[in-house]
Chain A
Amino acid sequence: MNLTPNFSLQKLNLRMNCRHGFEGMIKVTSQGITQFKNLTQLKITISSLKLELSPMKDLCTAIKSLDTLNNLDLFLIVRELLSDQYSTILSQLKTLKPLSRLSLGIDSNFRDIINESALVELYSLIQAQTHLRKLHLSFYNNAKPDQNFKNLIPSTSNLLNLEELTIEIYGSKFDSLIFSFFTEAPWLQDRLLILGLRTIYTTTKLEDYCAALSPIHNFKKLKTLNLACIGTKFESENSYLLKDTLSSLKKISGLNINIKESFYDW
């Protein structure tokens, strides 16, 4: 496909529902996006039942060919996404040009999607992005991070320019102590200006959630804390704990706290 180059487009948001004709759609789209010679922001959301690696590799190659790209969002909503497939996609993106913002999201039916191999690829991809200022990670449904996350957090500490980090977790029960991997990391405490912790339609222990929020007192430069607890059910016998924790955080001088909450009413 020979397309006339387009030099005007800077921002492209592509949402593809590929339940039918996945391979053809991704292959043509991969060729299509390369015509945009001044693209700085690219957001791709792929919704599909299954994923085929060959067209996804083409898509990754096309993304890597975009010389002016600065911001990349890639959200895969793939019901039957295999861990090996996700690892391969992440490894393909490892050689991306330096970005200032990276947002990665995954939604899958498989619980072990973020296994150790995928985590190694995820962190080596992030680690290679030394210019990164904003990082957003979303885990939906069963694609939730587990305790393995803890070992890999320090490996990204060379992100010297990181100012903003958002972690978003959606669906079923999750261990909110995972948030503490981020709030307790000294290199993040030294650098972050904006921290976002989002829980959406999930259930978690309130004591663990509040324990993960406590280290926010140790952040040296934090200006904004974005908390979202949308449809979140907190399991606890102490219903005042969250209120007390938030009151304590609100006393931090210079910190602006935005809270979006709609707690699950059982």
Chain B
Amino acid sequence: MAGLKKIVSLSISELCCYDQYFEYAKTLKNLVSLEKVVLDVHTKSSELQNFFETFSGFPNIRDISLSLCMKIMVSAYQE
């Protein structure tokens, strides 16, 4: 973890849901040197609010690049 705290820039791609992102977010809050984050997330409108709420917990991040892709709701019969 001590090594991780020196990370200045981080890119996380192909996050398939908010829950997966949330696990990362818990770690991101501890990365005190982190200034730049690139995120590529597939999400739903209902999850997006929770997603934005996590940003207040990042004390030093100055630069966020966020690629949001609306998740397609697949009905039961299609599955």
Q: Which residues of A contact B (CB under 8 A)?
A: 1, 3-6, 8-22, 24-25, 28-29, 31-32, 35-36
Stretch at the interface among B1-9, B19-27, B67-75: B67-75
**How many angstroms between the C-alpha atoms of A16 and B48 in the bound complex?**
12
Residues of B within 8 A of A (CB-CB), count = 26
The answer to whether B52 touches A9 (Cβ under 8 A) is: no
The answer to whether B44 touches A14 (Cβ under 8 A) is: no
B65 CB to nearest chain A CB (Å): 4
* B45 touches A (CB below 8 Å): yes
Residue from A3, A25, A28 within 8 A of B56 (CB atoms): A3
State the majority secondary structure of interface residues on B: mixed
**How many angstroms between the C-alpha atoms of A25 and B72 in the bound complex?**
13
**How many angstroms between the C-alpha atoms of A31 and B51 in the bound complex?**
12
**How many angstroms between the C-alpha atoms of A36 and B68 in the bound complex?**
18
Tell me how many residue pairs across A and B have CB atoms closer than 8 Å: 85
Chain B contacts of A25 at CB under 8 A? 45, 48, 68, 70
State the majority secondary structure of interface residues on A: mixed
Chain A contacts of B28 at CB under 8 A? none
A104 CB to nearest chain B CB (Å): 20
B10 CB to nearest chain A CB (Å): 15
Question: What would 23 A/B residue contacts be, using CB atoms closer than 8 Å?
Answer: A1-B53, A3-B53, A3-B56, A5-B56, A9-B61, A10-B62, A10-B63, A11-B62, A11-B63, A12-B65, A12-B66, A15-B65, A15-B67, A17-B68, A18-B70, A20-B70, A21-B70, A28-B52, A29-B52, A29-B68, A32-B52, A35-B55, A35-B56
Known: A5-B56, A14-B66, A28-B52. A21 touches B61 (CB 8 A): no
Q: Which 4 pairs of residues, A with B, have the shortest CB-CB distance?
A: A24-B45, A32-B52, A4-B56, A13-B65
Known: A13-B64, A15-B67. A6 touches B48 (CB 8 A): no
